[in-house]
């Protein structure tokens, strides 16, 4: 790659990465509120919040990669035009392809990175996030016990702990357990901890007492050094860990397990997701081609390229919205999946055709109806005509 092309490559690569990082940061901040609500409601640690945010980054990168490529290309090309560097490149004899090839190399790099994220990294992170959320929903220490509050479970168990110490130790514990026959148990202990024994969740209480009221009002009092309460009836056993189509790998989307009876609607949704992962990287070179066409696709203008840049941004937005609508439509009509590839490819081909058939930057339109004017012969200085 010649020196000038290396210079153009470096000029574009940095802003593209910076734009992708900035857009990812903005979307992370916007999406982190959802994770913060989950962590607070389920009483999870800050570490889990950080993990969920990190797991969301690959999906956000796939979303912002085409947009960041468009923004960075428009910014850099407009800057190079303002500083007359693009004009100098063309004046030095470089062809339009020689000028745009470094830009397309950056687009190809981002397209391959986006494809790798869609095929491998995003499903891995999505699965990890689903597993973390599943553990949070089934974390009895977080859902049954809240420090200084009476917490009621869906099946009637009431738990109060004055303090939740390090290691999940519960201090000054109160538990109320109703029975199906109308009786009830009331536990009062100095300490307690939620743990697992033989694979089952249990509440181990120490140094306390149990008051049992029968359905006829009789009281049975028991003082204990250690008492184990089975929490299995109060766990959400029906809430099994399930994966969405966005959490599956490509081979699972195209070739699901035949032993699993999938509904036709879910099968169509999986196919739409698979084709969307393969086709979405194509928006990167298409958007970059829009940006190139907007800035160097026509004659040089000293007034700037605001109108062309606005048209390029609007065209990119329209193409991406059309792609999203088609992906949703493919969930009902699988034969529309071919359009997920045509929507980014056709506008990109049209922009490339316009770009490489248009006039060079700085070229002036010819006059005289296309006739070539014959130059007059040279005359000696001072000769009469």
pLDDT over 60 at 360, yes or no = no
Nearest CA to 67 out of 104, 21, 28, 136 is that of 21
CA 253 to chain centre: 19
Q: Cβ(44)–Cβ(137) under 8 Å?
A: no
Q: Pick the most confident of 148-157, 186-195, 367-376.
A: 186-195
- Under DSSP, is residue 99 helix (H, G, I), strand (E, B) or coil? helix
What 8-state DSSP symbol labels residue 69? Answer: H
Q: For the whole model, what pTM was predicted?
A: 0.73
Q: What share of the chain is helix, strand, coil (3-state, %, to 5)?
A: 60, 15, 25
Nearest CA to 145 out of 180, 173, 111 is that of 173
C-alpha 356/C-alpha 177 separation (Å) is 78
pLDDT (tens digit per residue) in 178-219: 887 778 888 999 988 888 788 778 888 999 998 888 777 777
C-alpha 296/C-alpha 145 separation (Å) is 64
Nearest CA to 154 out of 139, 144, 166, 167 is that of 144
Write down the residue that tokens 């939620």 correspond to. Answer: 194
C-alpha 345/C-alpha 298 separation (Å) is 22
Q: What is the pLDDT of residue 44?
A: 67
Instruction: Write down the domain spans for the chain.
Output: 3-137+243-357, 147-234
pLDDT over 50 at 110, yes or no = yes
Nearest CA to 109 out of 17, 8, 11 is that of 17
pLDDT over 80 at 98, yes or no = yes
């Amino acid at each position: 790659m010649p020196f000038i092309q290396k210079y153009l490559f470096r000029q574009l690569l940095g802003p593209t990465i910076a734009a992708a990082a900035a857009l990812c940061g903005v979307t992370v901040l916007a999406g982190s509120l959802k994770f913060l609500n989950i962590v607070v409601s389920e009483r999870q640690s800050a570490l889990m919040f950080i993990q969920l945010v990190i797991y969301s980054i690959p999906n956000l990168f796939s979303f912002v990669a085409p947009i960041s490529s468009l923004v960075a290309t428009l910014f850099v090309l407009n800057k190079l035009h303002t500083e007359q560097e693009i004009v100098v490149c063309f004046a030095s004899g470089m062809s339009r392809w020689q000028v745009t090839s470094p830009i397309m190399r950056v687009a190809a790099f981002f397209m391959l990175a986006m494809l790798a994220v869609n095929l491998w990294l995003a499903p891995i992170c999505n699965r990890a996030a689903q597993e973390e959320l599943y553990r949070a929903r089934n974390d009895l220490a977080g859902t049954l016990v809240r420090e200084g509050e009476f917490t009621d479970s869906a099946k009637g168990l009431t738990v109060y702990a004055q303090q939740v110490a390090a290691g999940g130790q519960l201090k000054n514990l109160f538990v109320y357990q109703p029975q199906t026959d109308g009786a009830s148990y009331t536990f009062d202990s100095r300490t307690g901890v939620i743990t697992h024994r033989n694979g089952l969740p249990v509440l181990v209480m120490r140094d306390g007492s149990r008051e049992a009221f029968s359905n006829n009002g009789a009281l049975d009092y028991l003082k204990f050094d250690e008492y184990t309460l089975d929490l299995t009836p109060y766990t959400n056993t029906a809430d099994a860990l399930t994966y969405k189509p966005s959490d599956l790998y490509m081979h699972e989307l195209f070739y699901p397990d035949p032993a699993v009876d999938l509904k036709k609607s879910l099968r169509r949704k999986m196919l739409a997701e698979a084709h969307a992962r393969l086709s979405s990287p194509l928006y990167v070179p298409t958007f970059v081609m829009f940006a190139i066409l907007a800035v160097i696709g026509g004659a040089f203008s000293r007034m700037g390229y605001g109108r062309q840049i606005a048209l390029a941004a609007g065209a990119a937005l329209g193409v991406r919205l059309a792609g999203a609508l088609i992906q949703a439509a493919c969930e009902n009509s699988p034969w529309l999946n071919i359009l997920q590839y045509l929507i980014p490819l056709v506008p990109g081909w049209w922009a490339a055709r316009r770009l490489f058939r248009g006039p060079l930057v700085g070229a002036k339109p010819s006059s005289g109806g296309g006739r070539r004017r014959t130059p007059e012969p040279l005359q000696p200085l001072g000769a009469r005509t």
